[in-house]
Amino acid sequence: MDLIEIFQQVINGLSRGAIYALIAVGFAIIVNVLKFSNFAHGGVLGISAYAGYLASSQFNLSFIPVVLIGMVTGAIVAVLVEFIAFRWIRMQKGQLVYFFVTSVTMLMLLEQILVIRFGSFFDTYPYDLIKVKFINIGELSISVTYLISLAVTIVAFGLLIYVFKKTKIGIAIRAASNDMTTTSLMGINTGMVIIAAFVVSGMMGGISGVLFGISTSLSPQIGQVVVKGFIASVLGGLGSLTGVAVAAVALGLIEVFLVSTIGSGYSPVVIFALMIAFLLLRPQGFAGVSFTDKA
């Protein structure tokens, strides 16, 4: 590989990593608040990816509205999943494993809805959704799709940081991640906090679904990319959203390099091996500081 090629791979890797970061953070928000791995997030992502696809292919909407539709769809589907599936388990104070099993079931259900509606084919977003394909700087040609994904991700993260640091409900979501019971003792309606967490998580999932759909292709199984979010949130050290985002970007970069060197067949093997090695060396993840109450 020459320098130009490496630079292009870095851009590809960063943009892929950025999308993974969105997926991972949307996934980790629910892990933090409800303490279970919510694989239904993949289904939210998949439905939103197709919503964006319909908006662009049937209604000829342009890029920004398509992303917004994906975001809104994600929020709605995530809240619906909470209402239909998780709420009942919460009411009965069910064990975490029930949440987990239910979330996997919801992922399959949402996938099946896509199969019924779209068949199990590959679709692609309209070719002209992004008009200019490449920016050429000398010998370097950079994919505009990747740059836009990167930009959208940065805006989405800016929004997320604002919500979590500056709004009362955002801080309450973080408080609930620390200690749900004590959060309720503050006069906070924890039911609303959980719904808010699903809204925020769903928005992130929706945006990531559209971006991932645009930069790859669509199939009803697109939601299974949530596994990447899962990996990143484990590597990042559950609890720290920054750690999770950093791990996701690293994962994207590593993956793009592996695919371009050893091919897409072996790269998942290497990634899982790396993940296990990393967790053996640093079980607390990238960020790995979590404060526990002092007795």
Partner 1 sequence: MLEINHLHSGYNKIKVLEDINIQVPDGKIVVVIGRNGAGKSTLLNTISGLVKISSGSIMLDGEKLPPTPHRIVARGITQIPEGRRVFPSLTIEENLIMGGYLATASEIQKRTLEVFETFPILKERFHQQAGTLSGGEQQMLAMGRGMMANPRILLLDEPSLGLAPLIFTQVFELVQQLNEERNMTIVLVEQNASIALNMADYAYVLEDGKIVIEGTGKDLVVDPRVKAAYLGGVVEE
Positions in the binding site for partner 1 (CB under 8 A): 168, 171-172, 174-175, 177-179, 181-190, 239, 290-295
Question: In the bound complex, what is the minimum distance in angstroms from residue 184's beta carbon to partner 1?
Answer: 4
What's the closest the beta carbon of residue 33 comes to partner 1, in angstroms? 13
C-alpha–C-alpha distance, residues 245 and 236, integer Å: 7
Please say which residue, 88 or 121, places its beta carbon nearer to partner 1: 88
Task: Decide the pairing of beta strands 140-143 and 134-137.
Answer: antiparallel
Closest CB to partner 1 among 5 and 179? 179
Nearer to partner 1, 127 or 291 (CB): 291
For the residues of 233-265, what is the DSSP string, one character each? HHHT-TT-HHHHHHHHHHHHHHHHHHHHHH-TT
Partner residues linked to 143 by β-bridges: 134
> 40 or 241: whose CB is closer to partner 1?
241
Write down the least CB distance from residue 155 to partner 1, Å: 24
Q: Could you tell me if 251 and 228 are in contact, meaning their C-beta atoms sit under 8 angstroms apart?
A: yes
- Strand ranges (E), the chain: 134-137, 140-143
E strand or H helix that includes residue 205: helix 190-215
Q: Which of 40, 98, 50 is nearest to 230 (CA)?
A: 40
- Kindly state the smallest distance separating residue 239's Cβ from partner 1, in Å: 7
For residue 140, the cross-strand partners are: 137
Dihedral angle of Cα 255, 259, 265, 268, to the nearest 10 degrees? -10
- Tell me the closest approach of the beta carbon of residue 244 to partner 1, in angstroms: 14
Neighbouring CB atoms inside 10 A of 80's CB total 16
Minimum distance between the CB of residue 31 and partner 1, rounded to whole angstroms?
14
Tell me the H-state helices in 92-215: 96-118, 144-166, 168-178, 180-185, 190-215
Q: Which is nearer to partner 1, 178 or 221 (CB)?
A: 178
Report phi then psi at 134, rounded to 5.
-135, 145
What's the closest the beta carbon of residue 168 comes to partner 1, in angstroms?
7
